[in-house]
Amino acid sequence: MKFAVFASGFGSNLQAIIDAVKNGEISAELALVFSNSRKAHALKRAEEAGIPTLCLEAKDYLTPQSYDRDIVIYLKEHDIDFVVLAGYMKLLTPFFVKEFPDKVINIHPSLLPSFKGIEGIKDAFTYGAKVTGVTVHFVDDKMDHGPIIMQEALDVKEGEPLESLEARIHAIEHKMYPRAIQLFVKGKLKIQGRKVLVLEK
């Protein structure tokens, strides 16, 4: 199988995925890294790893759907089987999701459905949550909403600074995301309504 990673920023989850593919923990080809920002460090990570890159910026398009249409055309021309979002700070259109049904995966730094959006860690911290964590889920046409593949919780330590919590959550992400991707690659995930069954580890 061939997959693409979409990233908008620093790309630490991308790096964990690159390493997992290299180490054989993900038995699929990372064939493309896409970004919606030419400033994304993720593109540099991909180039250093010898992975093809593509960058298109939404400001060059009249509508979100026309933007996503060009991305989809490129993905299909290059036989991409599924898409992994890793810090991709742009909502996919219903058109995109329909073109890759149950084939887009996302990771979010909170225990969904709590603290959706781009500041999941900070929002949980500011709210005073005692427990937060990480969620990997399938993507549908709503933000941080699709069926949940796996979650891992962690306690927020008394008096812990935000930076420490961010570091601990990112450490969980970097281990958890490759595991979830490999389950998908091996056909071990079955969606039943809102639930995702793991057929066998």
Give the contacts of 41 (CB within 8 A, at least 6 positions apart): 9, 10, 11
32 backbone dihedrals φ, ψ, rounded to 5°: -160, 140
- E strand map for 48-147: 53-55, 82-85, 104-108, 131-138
User: And the tokens for 68?
Assistant: 């996503």
197 backbone dihedrals φ, ψ, rounded to 5°: -90, 135
Query: Does residue 41 have an active-site annotation?
Result: no
Task: Please state, in angstroms and rounded to a whole number, the distance separating the CA atoms of residues 36 and 188.
Answer: 31
Q: Select which of 108, 137, 145, 174 is catalytic.
A: 108
Cβ–Cβ under 8 Å, residues 169 and 109: yes
Burial class, 108, CB count within 10 angstroms (exposed 0-12 / middle 13-18 / buried 19+): buried
Kindly list the catalytic residues: 108
